[in-house]
Structure 1
Amino acid sequence: MAVTPPNSASEACPLSDETTAQQNGCPVSDPAAMARDFDAFQGAYQVDPAEALRWSRDQLPVFYAPKLGYWVVTRYDDIKAVFRDNILFSPKNVLEKITPATDAAMTVLKSYGYAMNRTMVNEDEPAHMERRRVLMGHFLPENLEKQQEMVRRLTRQKVDEFIDSGRVDLVEAMLYEVPLLVALHFLGVPEDEIETLRTFSLAHSVNTWGKPSDEKQVEVAHDVGRFWQYAGQVIERMREEKDGQGWMHHTIRMNAEMPDVVTDSYVHSMMMAIIVAAHETTSLASTNMFKTLLAHRDAWEDICSDPSLIPNAVEECLRYAGSIMAWRRQTTAATTLNGVDLPEGAKLLIVQASGNQDERHFEDGDSFDIYRDNAVDHLTFGYGAHQCMGKNIGRMEMRIFLEEMTRRLPHLKLAEQDYSYLPNTSFRGPDHLWVEWDTAHTPEKILSEARRAKHEFAVGAPARRDIARKIRVTETRSEAEGILGLTIEDAQGRTLPNWSAGAHIELCVGDYDRKYSLCGDPERGTYQVAILCENQGRGGSRHIHKTLKNGAEIKMRGPSNLFRLDEGAAHYVLIAGGIGVTPILAMADRLKTLGKSYELHYAGRSKRTMAFLNRVSRDHGPVLSLYADDEGRIMDLATMVAAVPEGGQIYACGPHGLLNALENLTDGLPQDTYHFEHFSTGISGLDPANESSFEAELTDSGMVLQVAADATLLDAILAAGIDVACDCREGLCGSCEVEVIEGEIDHRDMVLTRNERAQSNRMMSCCSRAKNGARIKLAL
């Protein structure tokens, strides 16, 4: 039975009986107090939305908030699922006033002829994609490159004005005006009346996402009405500039050429909306970025020393303290989200700030870490067909701001201050940010070339090769015959990030980057790995065995977890083959700590080649079964699988033969029963002489990409400015999965099961290709 939410935000939950509520999925039942008392306009949510909703992520990821009249969604996967389906979860309510307008305010708006219509952020298909395809070109990375010098010039001018002062409010001095000037330049809008636009922009935000009093609503309505009229006047002036440059000029020309697609009302509404969207979010995000980095001094100093860290630091700031707290959607049919029934017309507040710190997706998610190698997975820009078109403009500005400031004012620090924020559901950033520095130690006073130097960044997502922290090997040891054990620590003595069972790191040693599962104590602050010397491999493990000594300094990416343990199963069968024991051992340790029911099966060629035998026997002896080939002990996989109780799960890591055999044996079991992790795909990379080029149609983006024989689908997607997560780039992790709508796929990954491949509705873009060079169609 679907639960119909109350018509008034002041009414109670429609299901008052707790037992009935639990049976029917109404989340305002446990913990009832937290859900019923949730207030998006004051209290903990306004202070720290991610922390305020930790209880929800952990206990009740979809709940009804009666004070708001919305269903609140807080987990990463659920938020992404909502963004992905813009038909079932319509964006129609994104710009709807979250606080209903009073009659007096509506009268004021009508007096100005206010007629705000659909814009690109809140219109449904097919109108949305038709317009997006026509108007997307200016936002492509290759067309944004030429904007960089303008952004840098404006930034330098502002820094020049305050660099000798020693103290400044960064918002007033730079972070409000420069994003606005960049937005106006990009749009082709005259750069006048900045203070007027500031008032208008604030009014639009309060009017749409705030909770103004009745008296304030009337005041805001006058500003919104004047903003509407101002936007119309600017459009009329721009229509007369036949050769005008900028996105709005392009939009006006498309209005003349394709009036049914780019309508008059759309042009007027978009002018008003984009002036706000193009600069307000960047201004707030930049302010949050400086506040966050200056509060995490180690990160600031690392960036000052190594500017190549800047692109990923920006992504981590967007993840940890982005400017967009939450967005909205509305269901077009009854549906279920994470087990909760939602009726048709249900209004959703999807809290990206909460999803961005969800530890189910981000290891140690509530910690700030500029070396996080999946920070780009954040949902601050949204996801799917409605992902923010201006994301790369915002990234570009934030990188330049950070590069200029860390180079010219590395000794910058936060001043003592109280922070104030505009109360609203969706946008977050302090009104002011006071910083200070010692003018006598400004580098350009000492080194005149410092000001003129600059570090260039390509437009788009950060390059993964730059995301690596310095670490030191503190101990090397033999874990078994042919297996090297390492203990590593941060090279600067800092505590390494926490990690969860199944996680891995990537060691960068010489020309080799290799991934290894973590297998020590996740709370020690140091990491332990075990590395098998593979004589028939590609040389990475042999190089590590030969060269790494105590005290060696290398680099590391991670930790990341793509083999995550579901801690809610009834029983666990853990199966390790050879060096595959490393993630399995971490899982066994975790299950023992939790007091869970589990059994551990560990096989190898001989006991002398099996790592951690003493520790495994000591810590897990009562549930341990050992199998050594040279002793004639062989795993009876069929019996193990047959004995898995209802609700039980199997986790396995080891050679292809072991994992393939388990896949065959578990074929008829429930989908989530069998979890596995391969060591490698066995694929050495593309061989252009034996590959075929193909076309990939991206239905959500209105693009057709050409994938050359010497390039991957992932390469082509990223080059088009579309963000797709990627980690291993060899078909092992599953992070670059894309949805296939049409076409035959040449699957080359080690992620999908045999049945999933047969369905041919998913593929790993880093390695898999279209069969025989045919065209494929993707939901991107």
Structure 2
Amino acid sequence: MSQCPIDHGAARAPNGCPVSPEAAAFDPFGDGYQQDPPDYVRWSRDQEPVFYSPQLGYWVVTRYDDIKAIFRDNLTFSPAIALEKITPTGDAANAVLASYGYAMNRTLVNEDEPAHMPRRRALMEPFTPAELAHHEPMVRQLTREYVDRFIDAGRADLVDQMLWEVPLTVALHFLGVPEEDMDLLRQYSIAHTVNTWGRPRPEEQVAVAHAVGNFWQLAGRILDKMRQDPSGPGWMQYGIRRQREQPEVVTDSYLHSMMMAGIVAAHETTANASANALKLLLQHPDVWREICDDPALIPDAVEECLRHNGSVAAWRRVVTRDTDVGGIPLSAGSKLLIVTASANHDERHFADADLFDIHRDNASDQLTFGYGAHQCMGKNLARMEMQVFLEELTARLPHMRLAEQRFTYVPNTSFRGPEHLWVEWDPARNPERANPAVLAPRDAVRIGEPTGGSVGRTLVVAALVPAAAGIVKLRLAAPDGRALPRWAPGAHIDIECGQTGISRQYSLCGDPADASAFEVCVLREADSRGGSAWIHAHLRTGDRVRVRGPRNHFRLHESCRKAIFIAGGIGVTPVSAMARRARALGIDYAFHYCGRSRAAMAMRDELVALHGDRLHLHVRDEGQRADFASLLDTPDDATQIYACGPARMVEALEACCAAWPEDALRVEHFSSTLGTLDPSKEQPFTVELRDSGLTLEVPADQTLLTALRCANIDVQSDCEEGLCGSCEVPVLAGEIDHRDVVLTRAEREEGRRMMSCCSRGKGGKIVLGL
């Protein structure tokens, strides 16, 4: 008892747990939480990830896995209190609201099943990427018009002068609402936020109630006018038309509530997210310069901004049955504040979570939009607007900087963005004064989650030297000398080869401890599909190339006692890094390297020097062919085999290892045609998305990945050939026709995951954990 960090004489939570001093002091309305929610609850993520707040009367949850599990189970963890006033108001304020006939009902945000999903499905279509595309020209035009107003001033408050009004105008356009008085709607929107998630003082509550009541009546008047002619393009008109088809699903009270909630949800979160993003980027001038120089990085920057400093800090849930979260027992009726901003900084899920890294390959795992059946439907509208804002500002004001200021926030638990964002610049340096082409039309932005193919960085070729006959070794470093991401043996990077859009994967072959550069060896393939031929013909020292990764689906199990490494030709690249690591760890290993001739064997002298007698060269021209049958004739439970090389070599190894323990042989592949889609030979199948509550049909001429994207479900992807593993999705039930070369034999037989770009369901139906 003397070592327990909790004061057992302190107050106790409803389940009897003593309340720690930190939990007792938790105040989400204070400046600490408002300025930096993830840092404010860092102690909780580290020590007490589920705690009771006596001040709030809520259980607070701060770790990623716990919060995602809560989002996943919306039956046990009901969203019913998501729009409940977190601070009860007095009789006077309640009487004011009643005088306006205020009757806010359930919406998509806080509705339980079985009512929620039919309504979500009925109203989903306008939010899909294909339907959102026609809004982009209007967003672009509006953004340019607002920038025009202050471009020559040298100083602006981006919140007041652009970031509030443009998203509000876009929201009204999307909803089909006539543009009303912007200042009035801003006042109403803030009042709605304070009324629901804030802590207004007693003397403020009546004024807030009047604003909310007026907002409610305005929404009703607009809706009544729309009913007279619901043929317009807006989402509310779409809802009215759907009401005629499904009156029991899309009801009158539902539409009125959604009109009011939609005006807030469609613009306030985007306005705040955009202000947070620009503040964060300008606080990191090196990153700001990077996206100014390379606008292709903007989708990745948006996603990392949403993770690192999103506009939604927390959501709320209520427990419907006795359960536990993070090992803490909770009784039915317990209220939860789930701090998504904290989840987005959880080191257990995001490496170097506090680091602002726009090249992070799992930034889109962020929970700012929620997850599952109640994930924000407008997420891709927000992403699109943020991309347009950054494209326009980086092109027209790349020399912009933050002005000296103290950032303030509207005190509340859930929605945050700076009330003002002052920036400065020298108008004489505006690029468009010297180069009107800055204002030329731009290509359409990507609508939806960034693909793995877009998460990249520009590196410089620090060295390019021959490594063997027909092989060059590239050393790629950051232009500014910064350290590159950590990687483990077996990892690969993708190199974009010229302007053709071709991307090819190359295994890293240097020292994983060297963070100053990536090293790869590239063989000039006789039947090159364009990648290796371009590198050999065009790349020179000092050139810049676009690189993605590293990613790893060919890992060395560092706990193994004995390893056999087998490389054929250029397949030596990942295996060489593995053997280097095994040597450093003291693993008992042998390294077999097969090649056509000594002159064609990359890194031969380096490997001989490093591995000595453990290295066995098998040179075909010298009659030294490898005898895999003899090498692998005796299965050994303690030995792992790692191999990379031509398909014929891999097939021979698989045959020799048939009697070995399952997955003793681990293989890296160069290419695959298993995922090639032939509609004439495919069968359609059904996929149930358990977490999202959707059921989709995947026709014979469509991949699962495409079907998911059409349903507005975020899934990463890159190679789309079944090689890289970035599009992996969890399988809960059903038989899978695996067509990737990523999963091991045991993983395929287990049937708990699949690659959505190429693999398909068998037997009619599969169930995914999405």
Contact 1:486-1:529 at 8 Å conserved across structures: yes
Alpha-carbon distance between aligned partners in 1 of 2:170 and 2:95, rounded to the nearest angstrom: 35
SS in structure 1 of the partner of residue 136 of structure 2: helix
Q: 1:589-613 deviations in whole A, cap 9, x for unaligned?
A: 9x96xxxxx8454532479979799
SS in structure 1 of the partner of residue 477 of structure 2: strand
Instruction: Name the structure 1 match of 2:425.
Output: 437
| Amino acid of the structure 2 residue aligned with 1:247 | W
Instruction: Name the structure 1 match of 2:4.
Output: none
2:207 is equivalent to residue 216 of structure 1: no
SS in structure 1 of the partner of residue 376 of structure 2: coil
| Amino acid of the structure 1 residue aligned with 2:408 | S
Instruction: Name the structure 2 match of 1:498.
Output: 485
- How big is the alpha-carbon RMSD for the aligned residues of Structure 1 and Structure 2? 4.2
Alpha-carbon distance between aligned partners in 2 of 1:563 and 1:339, rounded to the nearest angstrom: 34
2:544 is equivalent to residue 556 of structure 1: no
- 1:310, CA displacement in angstroms? 2.6
Alpha-carbon distance between aligned partners in 2 of 1:338 and 1:708, rounded to the nearest angstrom: 42
Which deviates further from its counterpart, 495-504 or 412-421? Answer: 495-504
Instruction: Name the structure 2 match of 1:747.
Output: 738
SS in structure 2 of the partner of residue 126 of structure 1: coil
TM-score scaled by structure 1? 0.81
Instruction: Name the structure 1 match of 2:142.
Output: 154
Contact 1:604-1:610 at 8 Å conserved across structures: no
Q: Choose which of 23, 39, 43 in structure 2 pairs with 1:51.
A: 39
Q: Choose which of 85, 88, 102 in structure 2 pairs with 1:97.
A: 85
Alpha-carbon distance between aligned partners in 2 of 1:417 and 1:218, rounded to the nearest angstrom: 32
Alpha-carbon distance between aligned partners in 2 of 1:127 and 1:606, rounded to the nearest angstrom: 63
SS in structure 2 of the partner of residue 688 of structure 1: coil
2:675 is equivalent to residue 688 of structure 1: no
Alpha-carbon distance between aligned partners in 1 of 2:486 and 2:172, rounded to the nearest angstrom: 44
Contact 1:255-1:267 at 8 Å conserved across structures: no
2:171 is equivalent to residue 183 of structure 1: yes
2:100 is equivalent to residue 109 of structure 1: no
SS in structure 1 of the partner of residue 311 of structure 2: coil
Contact 2:301-2:358 at 8 Å conserved across structures: yes
Q: 1:35-57 deviations in whole A, cap 9, x for unaligned?
A: 55444333543322333444554
Change (3 A) 1:122 1:674: farther
Q: What are the equivalent positions in structure 2 for 1:191-270 lying under 5 Å apart?
A: 191-270=179-258
Structure 2: unaligned runs, 5 residues or longer: 1-9, 619-623
Contact 2:33-2:40 at 8 Å conserved across structures: yes
Contact 2:679-2:700 at 8 Å conserved across structures: no
SS in structure 1 of the partner of residue 547 of structure 2: strand
- 1:583, CA displacement in angstroms? 6.0
- 1:712, CA displacement in angstroms? 2.7
Instruction: Name the structure 2 match of 1:88.
Output: 76
- 1:67, CA displacement in angstroms? 4.4
Instruction: Name the structure 1 match of 2:342.
Output: 354
SS in structure 2 of the partner of residue 227 of structure 1: helix
Change (3 A) 1:708 1:405: farther
- 1:335, CA displacement in angstroms? 4.2
- 1:753, CA displacement in angstroms? 5.0
Instruction: Name the structure 2 match of 1:712.
Output: 703
Change (3 A) 1:741 1:605: closer
SS in structure 2 of the partner of residue 184 of structure 1: helix
Contact 1:498-1:523 at 8 Å conserved across structures: no
Alpha-carbon distance between aligned partners in 2 of 1:575 and 1:480, rounded to the nearest angstrom: 24
| Amino acid of the structure 1 residue aligned with 2:356 | F
- 1:96, CA displacement in angstroms? 2.3
SS in structure 2 of the partner of residue 86 of structure 1: coil
Q: Choose which of 277, 283, 287 in structure 2 pairs with 1:299.
A: 287
TM-score scaled by structure 2? 0.82
Structure 1: unaligned runs, 5 residues or longer: 1-9, 17-25, 593-597, 643-649, 668-672
SS in structure 1 of the partner of residue 238 of structure 2: helix
Contact 2:633-2:656 at 8 Å conserved across structures: no
Change (3 A) 1:504 1:87: farther
Q: 1:141-161 deviations in whole A, cap 9, x for unaligned?
A: 222222122222222222222
2:407 is equivalent to residue 419 of structure 1: yes
Identity of aligned residues (%): 49
- 1:493, CA displacement in angstroms? 1.9
Change (3 A) 1:259 1:421: same
Contact 1:575-1:602 at 8 Å conserved across structures: yes
- 1:312, CA displacement in angstroms? 2.6
Alpha-carbon distance between aligned partners in 1 of 2:249 and 2:327, rounded to the nearest angstrom: 39
- 1:201, CA displacement in angstroms? 1.0
Instruction: Name the structure 1 match of 2:6.
Output: none
SS in structure 2 of the partner of residue 394 of structure 1: helix
Contact 1:210-1:425 at 8 Å conserved across structures: yes
Alpha-carbon distance between aligned partners in 1 of 2:230 and 2:470, rounded to the nearest angstrom: 73
Alpha-carbon distance between aligned partners in 2 of 1:127 and 1:471, rounded to the nearest angstrom: 51
2:156 is equivalent to residue 168 of structure 1: yes
Instruction: Name the structure 2 match of 1:670.
Output: none
Contact 1:518-1:528 at 8 Å conserved across structures: yes
Contact 1:328-1:350 at 8 Å conserved across structures: yes
- 1:468, CA displacement in angstroms? 3.3
Instruction: Name the structure 2 match of 1:513.
Output: 504
Which deviates further from its counterpart, 444-453 or 184-193? Answer: 444-453
Q: 1:2-52 deviations in whole A, cap 9, x for unaligned?
A: xxxxxxxx9434688xxxxxxxxx7x89xx555554443335433223334
Alpha-carbon distance between aligned partners in 2 of 1:477 and 1:130, rounded to the nearest angstrom: 61
2:320 is equivalent to residue 328 of structure 1: no
Contact 1:530-1:582 at 8 Å conserved across structures: no
Instruction: Name the structure 2 match of 1:405.
Output: 393
Change (3 A) 1:479 1:683: same
Q: 1:617-661 deviations in whole A, cap 9, x for unaligned?
A: 98x99xx9878888999579954549xxxxxxx896757677999
